[in-house]
């Protein structure tokens, strides 16, 4: 606890500038953290937990991170690759041979790496209309996840598998089903016990955060609070594709583990595994994007939103810096604002990280 207190005592407080950003963009709240391999160098939060409330957010509050959950799923796969229970080229039907006669034959060559890089050809399942008419999936979360994975593999591909990039939430559910089959443990167990606990991510959990409300955006940009205990809930079997919450401080603990591994230090994964994960394929690496950001190349990136929050992340390993930014609002203004804040913080702290 003393070490943690000293760490945050030396970190730059971003609250004032984030407050100005939130007010200018008409966002309820915003939270951001910057880390280097040695620890957090800047963080802060500003705004309110929901429109109409007087309760303010802090750096300890959790925000929903949407598809930024996907790198967690990919990291679990990486652990299983290191344990030789999976390979990057393990095919779906290697793990589920009983599905050979019931799945679309086009998916036969699809591997773990194809799924993690959105090259599987699976339908996206990123729109509510795709969930209309789904058959019931009874049983436990693990059973429901496996049933959904099997179901999507019986449907025609959105594009020919392994022929190009097609973003797919369904692909990460299939990966999670593979994790659960080869390990005998749920995806939730892996996230909790192999990532959250070792990295001391105390704010992290599953589903919507309890205290901070997300806000949906109407066509005119008007924001409406969404009750985290209300009717809008993501299906449990979809969690590996986008249903985690945490503070940006805790999200940066995860990013820092990758940053350190990318710079040659063993953390929750080895440097060799990090190199494999963060090598760009057609458009994506394995569970992370890979892009040039503000002139920095090979930056590991992701963005996530389930239509009520928005989160962006970036790891610039060569510059020894990683950034996470979250807001409790969706919509174009929220997306552009968190993107600008991330780029500004990345440039500001990368430029001084080599001094």
pLDDT digits (tens, 9 = 90+) for 230-249: 999 999 999 999 999 999 99
The whole-number average pLDDT for the span 198-224 is 97
> What pLDDT band is residue 9 in, cutting at 50, 70 and 90?
low
**pLDDT value for 355:** 39
Domain regions of the chain by residue span:
2-66+211-270+296-353
**C-beta separation of 22 from 28 below 8 A:** yes
* Pairing, β 205-206 against β 244-246: antiparallel
* Closest residue by Cα to residue 65 from 289, 312, 299: 312
| 312 contacts 303 by C-beta, under 8 angstroms | yes
Mean pLDDT of the chain: 95
**pLDDT number for residue 124:** 97
Q: Is the pLDDT of residue 352 over 70?
A: no
Separation between Cα atoms, residue 51 and residue 114, nearest integer Å: 41
Q: Are 40 and 227 in contact (CB under 8 A)?
A: no
Mean pLDDT score, 348-352: 79
- Helices of type H across the chain: 2-9, 15-25, 70-82, 92-95, 112-116, 141-154, 169-183, 187-191, 239-242, 248-262, 271-277, 332-353
Mean pLDDT of the 18-41 span: 98
Q: Using pLDDT thresholds of 50, 70 and 90, give the confidence band for residue 351.
A: low
pLDDT reported for residue 1: 45
Could you please state the CATH topology (level 3) that the domain comprising 2-66+211-270+296-353 is classified under.
Beta-lactamase (3.40.710)
Average pLDDT over residues 26-33: 98
pLDDT at 133: 87
Nearest CA to 150 out of 192, 197, 92 is that of 92
3-state secondary structure of 253: helix
Give pTM, 2 decimals. 0.96
Q: Which residue has the higher pLDDT, 315 or 127?
A: 315
Given this model, what pLDDT does residue 6 score?
45
> Does residue 226 have a pLDDT over 70?
yes
Average pLDDT over residues 33-61: 98
Is 80 exceeded by the pLDDT of residue 38?
A: yes
What average pLDDT score do residues 293-314 get? 97
d(CA 292, CA 274): 18
N-terminal to C-terminal alpha carbon distance within the chain: 29
Mean pLDDT of 130-150: 95
Q: Please state, in angstroms and rounded to a whole number, the distance separating the CA atoms of residues 343 and 346.
A: 5
User: Are the C-beta atoms of residues 52 and 28 closer than 8 Å to each other?
Assistant: no
Residue 7 has pLDDT above 80, yes or no: no
pLDDT for the residue numbered 353: 43
| β-pair type (12-13, 39-47) | parallel
299 strand-pairing partners: 291
Lowest mean pLDDT of 10-14, 219-223, 351-355, name the range. 351-355
Instruction: Give me the pLDDT at residue 89, please.
Output: 98
Please give the Cα distance from 235 to 242 (Å, whole number): 10
Mean pLDDT, rounded, for 254-270: 98
* Statement: residue 272 has pLDDT above 50: yes
The DSSP symbol for 200 reads T
Q: With a cut of 70, say whether residue 4 has pLDDT above it.
A: no
Q: Which two tokens stand for residue 305?
A: 């939103």
């Amino acid at each position: 606890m003393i070490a943690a207190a000293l760490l945050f005592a030396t970190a730059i407080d971003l609250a004032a500038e984030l407050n100005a950003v939130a007010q200018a963009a008409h966002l309820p709240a915003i939270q951001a953290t910057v880390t280097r391999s040695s620890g957090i160098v800047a963080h802060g939060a500003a705004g309110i937990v929901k429109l109409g409330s007087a309760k303010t957010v802090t750096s300890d509050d959790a925000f929903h991170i949407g598809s930024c959950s996907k790198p967690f799923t990919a990291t679990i796969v990486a652990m299983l690759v290191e344990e030789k229970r999976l390979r990057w080229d393990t095919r779906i039907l290697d793990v589920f041979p009983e599905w050979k006669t019931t799945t679309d034959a086009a998916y036969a060559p699809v591997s773990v790496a194809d799924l993690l890089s959105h090259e599987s050809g699976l339908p996206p399942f990123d729109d509510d209309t795709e969930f209309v008419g789904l058959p019931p999936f009874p049983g436990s979360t693990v059973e429901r996840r496996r049933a959904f994975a099997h179901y999507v593999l019986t449907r025609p591909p959105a594009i020919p598998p392994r022929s190009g990039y097609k973003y797919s939430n369904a692909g990460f559910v299939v990966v999670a089903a593979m994790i659960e089959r080869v390990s005998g443990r749920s995806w939730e167990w892996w996230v909790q016990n192999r990532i959250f606990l070792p990295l001391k991510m105390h704010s992290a959990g599953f589903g919507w955060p309890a205290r901070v409300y997300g806000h949906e955006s109407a066509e005119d940009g008007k924001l409406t609070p969404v009750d985290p205990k209300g009717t809008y809930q993501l299906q449990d079997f979809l969690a590996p594709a986008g249903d985690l919450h945490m503070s940006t401080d805790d999200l940066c603990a995860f990013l820092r583990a990758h940053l350190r591994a990318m710079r040659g230090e063993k953390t929750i994964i080895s440097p060799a595994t990090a190199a494999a994960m963060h090598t760009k394929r057609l458009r994506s690496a394995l569970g992370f994007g890979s892009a040039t950001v503000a002139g920095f190349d090979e930056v590991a990136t992701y963005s996530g939103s389930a239509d009520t929050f928005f989160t962006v992340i970036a790891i610039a390993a060569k510059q020894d810096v990683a950034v996470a930014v979250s807001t409790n609002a969706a919509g174009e203004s929220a997306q552009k604002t968190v993107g600008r804040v991330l780029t500004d913080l990345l440039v500001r702290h990368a430029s001084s990280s080599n001094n």
